[in-house]
């Protein structure tokens, strides 16, 4: 449906988008996630043919956006970051104009405009001048414009910005509904939003594609399982020795603590294992009093921060099956990280339990976990947060 | 394309700009008509047209300044450029709207000769040839305005630049006289001109080889031509500058002559300006 190959956009020496490739075949909601300036909007502008890429191809519904722009654009609906509204027109006039631009047949225009206004709930704003509308209604008018003509692919750049909480819930439902009949690609830097409505998340950082996966998988992306925060009284070596002896531990990191004569440890358990009790008894036996123990689940936020904070040092190269759809993942792998996953056991993560939807390949999962779990701990101060 | 044209005409009429443009043209036409024909009793309507052609300097920038600059400022160009309409069609739709608005006062102006008819006999053929030439000249000015509007994001800058450009073309016959017309002076100015052009080519292509070839080639050709026949260089500068003297092409029409050269000239100006407008929009997408 929509295929992006090696997309690059340079402004002078700066690469706003750097060799991004992905393919989206199945209907659903896809979320572009990335910090400010990651290249989300630029990518979307290129996908819709507003900007031309420096190199690379965009193929929409079988048509190259540069070679057959008209045919390609016909199956696209686009809501840019700032809704492209003519403020001196009424909502109805504007949508009719947009429908004519889309080359919707004359006899279907009225009906098409009515239906998108109903979908976005702006029918009662029909005769208002756009300049008198609030931000939320402008956003909806822009969304209505994108929906005109029922395009196969919808590209929405930050569709939730400026909406009040009630409207956000409504628009979310609308987008989720649209995902059943269209390919919806939306961008956002708000994690909870993306997590809520997207079937697949595409993380972009510094113009590079960092990950494509379902939100659930991404949460496991690095840690794969829960992290146990432990503070125990005792020397660092003693604690390390104890943890090494504990069965079911996938990885650990021991650092100095604020507590006197104590150390903090971040322990990663093997997937599905609860090591809290074992740890407690073992530490008691070794005379290492546990002062604090806390279970922490890796949030998408953490994954996001991790993935986007080190743009040049990661790479994973694999393709995998996600809910039966084939998604190309081309991640950039740095040497440093690659070395780290060697000592990791392959079975850190056993994907079998998760949702039963995904089957990940072993090499990838080990790479995932490598980012968070580093068995060979370096000096105390360096790793401390 | 027609959708853009229709929308553009409506928005111009809604936003005063179109009304101001029409009012300016008609007001000045009325003033000149009263002065020349009703008070002065001149029979030639082209006096009025020639007198009011100065109004284009103000009226055209007013009408064209928003056309593309405002789209860019409001980011509505994203709607146009991501819709299944090609850039040439967008530009042509915009231009058609400008011409459409310009046609409204022209229709009214067409009635003035009929008033003259009531007071004596006039040649309709000559008069309406003049009106036709006036319309074509206006269309050429509008295309220049559209081009300038595509270059900037600010309507004010667009209006000012457009005014300056039109003002320069309007005064071109005066500017021509600043330059000496002897062949030696022409030769030197041509050398300078080619050098500047080569420099620009080098700047645009960032290729010193092409720039160098252009520079050496053009200067050499110029020198050879000068060796062969120095006398043909007489007044070359004036001839070159005359190309930009748009309002000068109107004088034949004003005299009642249907000047094919003039028609071709105006159409060429329009085509070139629209082409450059398309290129300037495309360039922004690629850069």
Asked whether the beta carbons of residue A101 and residue B4 sit closer than 8 angstroms, the reply is yes
Q: What ipTM score was computed for the predicted complex, to two decimals?
A: 0.86
Radius of gyration of chain A (CA): 25
Contacts of A45 in chain B (CB under 8 A): 78
Nearest Cα of chain A lies from the Cα of B15 at a distance, in angstroms, of 8
Is the minimum CB–CB distance between A16 and chain B shorter than 8 Å? no
Q: Do A101 and B78 touch (CB under 8 A)?
A: no
Distance CA B287, CA B280 (A): 11
Mutation for A interface: B84, B89, B279, B286, most A CBs within 10 A: B84
Average pLDDT over residues B197-219: 86
Residues of A in contact with B81 (CB under 8 A): 49-50
Which residue in A45, A76, A84 is closest to B76 by CB distance? A84
Residues from chain A contacting residue B89 (CB–CB below 8 Å) = none
Question: Which A residues 51-80 touch B at CB under 8 Å?
Answer: 51-52, 69-71, 73-74, 76, 78, 80
From A51, A52, A97, residue closest to B3, measured CB to CB: A97
Nearest to A48 among B2, B4, B82 (CB): B82
pTM to 2 decimals? 0.77
pLDDT at A310: 59
pLDDT tens column, B273-285: 999 999 999 988 8
- Supply the angle between the helices B87-109 and B260-286 in degrees, to the nearest 10: 140
Please tell me the least confidently modeled range out of A333-337, B64-68, B85-89, B138-142: A333-337
pLDDT digits (tens, 9 = 90+) for B224-233: 888 888 787 8
Contact A101 B86 (CB under 8 A): no
Which of B6, B74, B83 is the closest to A102 by Cβ?
B83
**Which residues in chain A touch residue B15, judged by CB atoms under 8 angstroms apart?**
88
pLDDT (0 to 100) of residue A385: 40
What is the nearest CA distance from A53 to chain B, expressed in angstroms?
A: 7
What angle in degrees, to the nearest 10, is found between the helix axes of B124-151 and B56-64? 50
- Alpha-carbon distance A323 to nearest alpha carbon in chain B (angstroms): 32
Residue A69 distance to chain B (closest CA, Å): 7
B11 in contact with chain A, both atoms CB, cutoff 8 A: yes
Closest residue in A to B74 (Cα) is: A84
Q: Could you list the pLDDT tens digit for every one of the 385 residues in chain A?
A: 889 998 898 888 888 888 888 888 888 999 888 888 888 889 999 999 899 999 999 999 889 988 888 889 989 999 998 999 998 899 999 999 999 999 899 999 999 999 999 988 889 989 999 999 988 889 889 999 999 988 999 999 988 887 888 888 888 888 888 889 899 999 887 777 788 888 888 888 888 888 888 877 776 655 455 678 888 888 888 888 888 888 888 788 888 888 788 888 888 877 767 788 888 888 888 888 888 888 776 666 666 777 777 544 444 433 333 333 333 343 333 333 333 333 333 333 333 333 333 333 334 333 443 333 333 333 444 433 4
Residue B83 contacts A where some CB pair is shorter than 8 Å: yes
Q: Among A69, A76, A85, whose Cβ lies nearest the Cβ of B86?
A: A69
* Chain centre distance of CA B111: 25
* Nearest residue of chain B to residue A48 (CA atoms): B82
d(CA A194, CA A188): 7
Is residue A225 within 8 Å of A270, Cβ to Cβ? yes
CB contact under 8 A, B84 and A45: no
Q: Which residue of A has its CA nearest to B284?
A: A51
Looking at beta carbons, which residues of chain B come within 8 Å of A95?
A: none
List the structure tokens of B263: 């028609």
Distance CA A172, CA B156 (A): 41
CB–CB of B75 and A82 under 8 A?
A: yes
Which of B67, B71, B83, B93 to probe the A interface (max A CBs under 10 A)? Answer: B83
Would you call A257 an interface residue with chain B, using a CB distance cutoff of 8 Å? Answer: no
The string of DSSP codes covering A52-74 is --SEEEEEETTEETTTSHHHHHH
pLDDT mean over B252-268: 92
Q: Does A163 touch chain B (CB under 8 A)?
A: no
B273's tokens: 């300006």
Q: SS3 for B26?
A: helix
Query: Nearest CA to CA, how far is B233 from chain A (Å)?
Result: 44
d(CA A76, CA A269): 46
Say how far apart CA A169 and CA A30 lie, in whole Å: 18
Question: Is the pLDDT score of B95 beyond 70?
Answer: yes
Half-sphere exposure of B48 (CA within 13 A, CB side): 31
Q: Where are the alpha helices (DSSP H) in B15-123?
A: 17-32, 46-52, 56-64, 69-73, 77-81, 87-109, 112-117
**B153 close to A (CB below 8 A):** no
Q: Please state the domain extents for chain B.
A: 2-176+244-286, 182-234
Contact A78 B86 (CB under 8 A): no
Alpha-carbon distance of B69 to B157, in angstroms, equals: 9
Dig out the tokens for B243 from the structure.
């190309």
Q: Do A88 and B83 touch (CB under 8 A)?
A: no
Interchain pair A69, B285: CB under 8 A: no
* pLDDT for residue A245: 84
Calpha distance A204→A327 (Å, rounded): 15
């Amino acid at each position: 449906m929509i295929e992006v190959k090696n997309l690059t956009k340079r402004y002078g020496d700066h690469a706003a988008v750097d060799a991004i490739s992905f393919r989206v075949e199945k209907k659903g909601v896809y979320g572009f996630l990335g910090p400010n300036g990651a290249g989300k909007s630029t990518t979307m502008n290129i996908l819709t043919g507003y900007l031309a890429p420096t190199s690379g191809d965009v193929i929409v519904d079988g048509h190259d956006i540069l070679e057959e722009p008209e045919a390609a654009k016909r199956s696209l609906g686009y809501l840019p970051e700032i809704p492209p509204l003519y403020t001196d027109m009424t909502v109805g006039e504007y949508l009719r104009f947009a429908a004519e631009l889309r080359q919707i047949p004359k006899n279907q225009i009225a009906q098409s405009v009515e239906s998108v206004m109903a979908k976005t709930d702006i029918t009662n704003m029909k005769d208002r001048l756009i300049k008198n509308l609030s931000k939320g209604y402008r956003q909806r008018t822009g969304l209505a414009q994108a929906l005109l003509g029922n395009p196969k692919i919808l590209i929405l750049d930050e569709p939730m910005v400026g909406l009040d909480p009630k409207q956000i819930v409504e628009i979310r439902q609308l987008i989720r509904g649209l995902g059943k009949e269209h390919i919806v690609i939306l961008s956002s830097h708000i994690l909870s939003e993306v997590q809520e409505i997207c079937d697949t998340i595409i993380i972009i950082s510094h113009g590079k594609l960092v990950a494509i996966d379902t939100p659930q998988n991404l949460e496991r992306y690095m840690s794969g399982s829960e992290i146990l925060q432990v503070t125990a009284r005792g020397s660092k070596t003693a604690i390390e020795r104890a943890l090494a002896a504990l069965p079911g531990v996938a990885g650990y990191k021991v650092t100095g603590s604020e507590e006197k004569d104590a150390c903090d440890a971040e322990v990663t358990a093997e997937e599905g294992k609860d090591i809290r009790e074992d740890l407690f008894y073992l530490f008691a036996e070794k005379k290492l009093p546990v002062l604090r123990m806390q279970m922490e689940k890796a949030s998408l936020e953490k994954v996001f921060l991790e993935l986007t904070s080190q743009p040049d040092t990661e790479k994973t190269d694999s393709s995998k099956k996600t809910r039966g759809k084939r998604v190309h993942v081309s991640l950039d792998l740095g040497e440093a990280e690659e070395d780290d996953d060697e000592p990791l056991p392959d079975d850190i993560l056993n994907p079998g339990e998760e949702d039963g939807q995904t089957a990940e390949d072993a090499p990838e999962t080990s790479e995932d976990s490598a980012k968070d779990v580093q068995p060979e701990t370096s000096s105390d101060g360096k790793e401390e947060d | 394309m027609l959708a853009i044209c229709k929308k553009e005409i409506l928005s111009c009429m809604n936003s005063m700009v179109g009304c101001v443009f029409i009012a300016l043209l008609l007001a000045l036409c009325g003033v000149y008509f009263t002065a020349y024909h009703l008070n002065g009793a001149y029979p030639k309507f082209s006096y009025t047209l020639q007198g009011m052609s100065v109004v284009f300097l103000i009226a055209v920038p007013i009408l064209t300044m928003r056309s593309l600059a405002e789209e860019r400022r409001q980011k509505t160009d994203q709607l146009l450029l991501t819709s299944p309409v090609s850039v040439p069609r967008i530009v042509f739709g915009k231009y058609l709207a400008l011409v459409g608005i310009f046609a409204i006062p022209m229709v009214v102006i067409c009635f003035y000769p009929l008033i003259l008819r009531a007071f004596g006999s006039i040649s309709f053929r000559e008069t309406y040839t003049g009106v036709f030439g006036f319309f074509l000249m206006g269309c050429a000015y509008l295309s220049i305005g559209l081009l300038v509007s595509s270059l900037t994001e600010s309507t004010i800058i667009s209006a000012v630049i457009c005014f300056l450009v039109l003002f320069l073309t309007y005064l071109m016959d005066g500017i021509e006289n600043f330059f000496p017309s002897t062949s030696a002076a022409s030769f030197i100015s041509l050398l300078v001109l080619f050098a500047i052009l080569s420099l620009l080519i080098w700047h645009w292509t960032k290729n010193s080889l092409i720039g160098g070839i252009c520079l050496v080639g053009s200067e050499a050709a110029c020198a050879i031509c000068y060796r062969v026949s120095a006398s043909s260089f007489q007044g070359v500068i004036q001839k070159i500058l005359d190309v930009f003297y748009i309002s000068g092409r109107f004088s034949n029409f004003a005299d009642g002559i249907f000047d094919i050269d003039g028609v071709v000239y105006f159409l060429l100006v329009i085509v070139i300006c629209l082409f450059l407008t398309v290129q300037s929009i495309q360039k922004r997408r690629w850069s």
